[in-house]
Structure 1
Amino acid sequence: MHPSLLAIKQSMVFTGQLERDIIDLLTLYNCPRTAEHSLRVGDEAARLAARFNGDTEHARTAGLLHDISAIIPNSDRIRFARELHIDILPEESAFPMIIHQKLSRIIARDLFQIRDPSILNAIGCHTTLQADPSPLDLIVFVADKIEWDQPGTPPYLDALLKRLDVSLESGAFVYIDYLWRQKERLKVIHPWLSDAYRQLKANLADAD
Structure 2
Amino acid sequence: MDYKQAVDKLSHTLSPKRFSHSLGVSRTAAELAARFGENIEKARLAGLLHDCARGIPSNNLLQMAESFDIVMNDVERCQPVLLHAPLGACLAQKEYGVDDPHILRAIALHTTGGRDMSTLDKIIYVADFIEPGRDFPRADKLRSLALQDLDAGLLACFDQSIHYVIDQNLLIHPATIEGRNYLLLQK
How many residues are matched? 186
**Secondary structure, in 3 states, of the residue corresponding to 2:96?**
coil
The match for 1:9 is none
Check the 8 A contact 1:148/1:154 in 2, yes or no: no
Match for 1:161 among 132, 140, 143?
Answer: 143
The match for 1:189 is 172
The match for 1:132 is 116
Check the 8 A contact 2:24/2:132 in 1, yes or no: no
CA RMSD between the two structures:
1.9
Match for 2:44 among 43, 60, 70?
Answer: 60
1:83-142, CA deviations, whole angstroms, 9 ceiling, x for partnerless residues? 111111110110011110001000001111111111110000001111000000001111
Q: Distance in 1 between matches of 2:19 and 2:66?
A: 26
Give the letter aligned to residue 51 of structure 1. R
After TM superposition, the score normalised by the length of structure 2 is: 0.90
The match for 2:3 is 18
Give structure 2 stretches of 5+ with no counterpart: none
Give the letter aligned to residue 196 of structure 1. G
Give structure 1 stretches of 5+ with no counterpart: 1-15
Q: Distance in 2 between matches of 1:43 and 1:24?
A: 18
Check the 8 A contact 2:35/2:147 in 1, yes or no: no
Instruction: Answer with 101-110 or 68-77: which moved more.
Output: 68-77
Q: Distance in 2 between matches of 1:21 and 1:107?
A: 12
The match for 2:31 is 47
1:60-94, CA deviations, whole angstroms, 9 ceiling, x for partnerless residues? 01000000002321111001111111111110110
The offset of 1:164, in angstroms, is 2.6
Q: Distance in 1 between matches of 2:172 and 2:101?
A: 26
- Which of the pair has the greater relative contact order for Cα pairs under 8 Å at 6+ separation? 2
The offset of 1:32, in angstroms, is 1.8
Q: 1:140 to 1:25 in 2, by over 3 A?
A: closer
**Secondary structure, in 3 states, of the residue corresponding to 1:159?**
helix
Check the 8 A contact 1:139/1:168 in 2, yes or no: yes
The offset of 1:182, in angstroms, is 5.2
Q: Distance in 2 between matches of 1:37 and 1:19?
A: 16
